[in-house]
Structure 1
Amino acid sequence: MRADWIADRPIAHRGFHDAARGVLENTASAFSAAVAGGFAMECDVQITADGEAMVFHDDTLDRLMEGSGRLDSFTRAELQTLPMRQGRDRMITLGELCDLVAGRAPVIVEIKAAWSADRRLEARVAQILGGYKGPVAVMSFDPGSMRAMRALAPSLPRGVTQESVYDDPEWDRLTAWQKFSLGRLLHLPQSRPDFLAWYVKDLHYRAPRFARAVLGLPMLTWTVRTAADQARAALYADQMIFEGFTP
């Protein structure tokens, strides 16, 4: 199986970050800490105005950067001049993350879902990871993104990030049918994932249990932060994406 390593180690969510120590999420410091701790790591990527894949979670800069506005309205050069609100890190590209990790730990890249036909980000991710030698996989909430990655980089392991009940306001952009089909894995014939990453609070639902037990798909779970989350992860998943503690 292409992703047989996917559940070998606990996965540090956005790197092994700790804002109290000035180590912010999705930074070189957080990823270096994950390597030092012997963890795998998850990161997020967004597309810039000039087509670069930047390692950053939010659509906008306001929460973490000394700046504001949508990330995709800035160029790579502009973004890398901006300081973060804490610590000394600057925003890095996916290519820079690959150079930093250099195969020393597994990397799972979440392609932030745009829910559109624009696949510039997928194309850039495929271009960068095509030459990477270490264990790496991609995933997204948008099954269409993984369908695109199957065409762009068929040898790259891919997964779909999942919930069972899409009732958070962030999902208001989706239709009722999209929410229904996502929660019931109706995308599988098109996305053909090598693994799934399911919301820890929803692991008890039928779809994730079916996918793991019957279809044999490795099950990651996010984001594990408490002892109760850990217990649920141990019962229903193969590995956790964790944050806020040391496993």
Structure 2
Amino acid sequence: MGELYWLRRPIAHRGLHDAARGIVENSVSAVKAAMRKGLAVEVDLQRAAGDMPVVFHDVTLDRLTDESGPVAARDVDTLRTIPLNNGGDRILSLPDLLELVGDTVPLLLEVKSDGKRNSAFEANIATLLAAYSGPVAVMSFDPHAVAAFRHHAPALPRGLVSCRFADKISKTHLSLLQRFAMRHLLTSVFARPHFVAYDVRALPAVAPLIAKFVAGLPLLAWTVRTQADLERALRYADAPIFEEIAP
């Protein structure tokens, strides 16, 4: 897909955030900081009440706000009133983000999944993106979410996010077979991704390199935080998803 040229360039992870300067991840300030440098922006989409998307990473509000409890327990209008920890920004809705960015820089949207299979969340995201004219792509660890975008918006660029799935959370929530299939991108059979984003710490690995060199899919490396990470990303992938370092 020719429009995916920007997936071969560095992408700012959750915007160009910097806690020391009071720039919180996934915030207006972080997005604007990336835009000023002409960088593509990656942000997270979390499920709010009614299966509507907001720009937020965590399942709960506790880490980045003075509120507590699940994001999914609040509606979008309520979440948009909640200040982030820097005090100057509030949680963004997806329409807020699209209006902020316009078509000035590309947007990479990581869609968080709670394992639901009704695809209403993905359908709502697809609807909101339908009228957006700027370069945009979606991606998710959940291959069923990626497959849902294949159904609801087949022309929307979609990617699979993957890693070794060796952490405690993965071992708790995913079976050995699921982890094997996701690690080796076997779920591509039904998700049909246009690109892959793979944990930089797991590179080189057979599956993402086959995706890159045999299937010709753009390969992103996440999350690049050090010079060693960057060197690894540039050696094996097309572009880094980075933070805490200038690519």
- Correspondence for 1:114: 114
Deviation at 1:30, TM superposition (A): 0.6
- Partner secondary structure for residue 50 of structure 2: coil
Deviation at 1:124, TM superposition (A): 1.1
Counterpart of 1:166, as a letter, is F
TM-score scaled by length of structure 1: 0.96
In the alignment, is the contact (CA less than 8 A) between 2:158 and 2:194 conserved in 1? yes
Could you list the runs of 5+ residues in structure 1 that have no partner in the other structure?
none
Deviation at 1:142, TM superposition (A): 0.6
Deviation at 1:2, TM superposition (A): 5.0
- Correspondence for 2:88: 88
Counterpart of 1:37, as a letter, is K
- Correspondence for 1:46: 46
Q: Alignment RMSD, CA only? A: 1.2
The C-alpha deviation readout for 1:24-74, integer Å capped at 9, x for no partner, is: 000111111111011101010012113321000000000001100000001
* Separation (CA, whole Å) in 1 of partners of 2:108 and 2:199: 16
* Separation (CA, whole Å) in 2 of partners of 1:106 and 1:135: 5
* Separation (CA, whole Å) in 1 of partners of 2:2 and 2:132: 15
* Separation (CA, whole Å) in 1 of partners of 2:226 and 2:148: 35
Identity of aligned residues (%): 44
Point out 4+ residue stretches in structure 1 off by more than 3 angstroms: none
- Correspondence for 1:154: 154
- Correspondence for 2:169: 170
In the alignment, is the contact (CA less than 8 A) between 1:47 and 1:54 conserved in 2? yes
Deviation at 1:8, TM superposition (A): 4.2
* Separation (CA, whole Å) in 2 of partners of 1:239 and 1:87: 33
Matches within 5 A, 1:52-131: 52-131=52-131
Aligned length: 246
- Correspondence for 1:216: 216
* Separation (CA, whole Å) in 2 of partners of 1:203 and 1:63: 30
* Separation (CA, whole Å) in 1 of partners of 2:57 and 2:228: 25
Could you list the runs of 5+ residues in structure 2 that have no partner in the other structure?
none
